[in-house]
Structure 1
Amino acid sequence: MTEIVRLHAVPNQRVMDPEPLWREVLGQRLRALRSRRGETLTETAERAGISPQYLSEIERGLKDPSSEVLAAVAGALGATLIDLTSQVTGDLRSYAFGAPQISGHQALLLAA
């Protein structure tokens, strides 16, 4: 596992927390979308063809799912792979302006 090392800050420069990992932001997006739909891990995982335990690990940012698994989970949640990856990319881009938060509106956009 790679260790993140903080460098000493230049005076008057804002110190930022380590950048979140793709899998962490992805997991937050998936959990928000699933929660917004009022579904359990078991219901979503069953439709996606994966175990609830694996979906839980993905949502907690512990696993990097393959593109096939990611497409299956997105589809089970009524979203497309491109919608989901665009939202995660946007969250990562916005990190420089503060920690991204997933709003209800953004989760609904994924479901559209």
Structure 2
Amino acid sequence: MTSHVPNEVRVIPLRPRAARPGTRPAAPPVSPERRPPTVREPLWRDLVGDVLRRERLGQERTLKEVAEAARISMPYLSEVERGRKEASSEVLAAAAGALGLGLADLLARAQGELIRLTSRHTGAGQAARTGQGASGARFDGMCLAA
């Protein structure tokens, strides 16, 4: 018979951490029930989809109108807006263009939304407004990796 083992992730260090002279030993690990809830960072596709949907609704246009103008299928545009599909830069540019936006405008709005959402949870609002990340590193733009 098999025993029930919970689905837990355990990290086993390859090398034990060396204690520094004059420091106290590390506290025992906190049980999962006592850990503060972790905040999941938003996904890029969710942010971009939200911006597209907000802009479309702001223009009082239907999904069908924008999909036809962008020359992409209506179901696919719907999936992109809901964050279900990771759209290519070509699809994003077409959707943005159909809404009268450039690709840079769309990505800048998504970046602003990302900064707003993450600063609310991390308390890094001031750092975000001054152009510094949580680590204190300066950033002046956006990096996008696919």
Question: Percent sequence identity over matched residues?
Answer: 49
Question: Which structure shows the bigger proportion of residues in helix conformation?
Answer: 1
Match of 1:63 among 73, 85, 88: 85
The residue aligned with 1:22 is 44
Q: Which of 34, 38, 41 matches 2:60?
A: 38
Between the two proteins, the alignment pairs up a number of residues equal to 90
**Aligned pair 1:49/2:91, yes or no?**
no
1:60 offset after TM fit, Å?
Answer: 0.3
Which of 87, 109, 117 lines up with 1:87 in the alignment? 109
Query: Shift of residue 15 of structure 1?
Result: 4.5
Relative to the length of structure 1, the TM-score reads 0.72
**Structure 1: stretches of 5+ with no match in the other structure:** 9-13, 100-112
In 2, Cα distance between the equivalents of 1:34 and 1:85? 15
Alignment correspondent of 1:102:
none
Pick from 115, 120, 125 the counterpart of residue 98 of structure 1: 120
Q: Which runs of 4+ in 1 moved over 6 A?
A: none
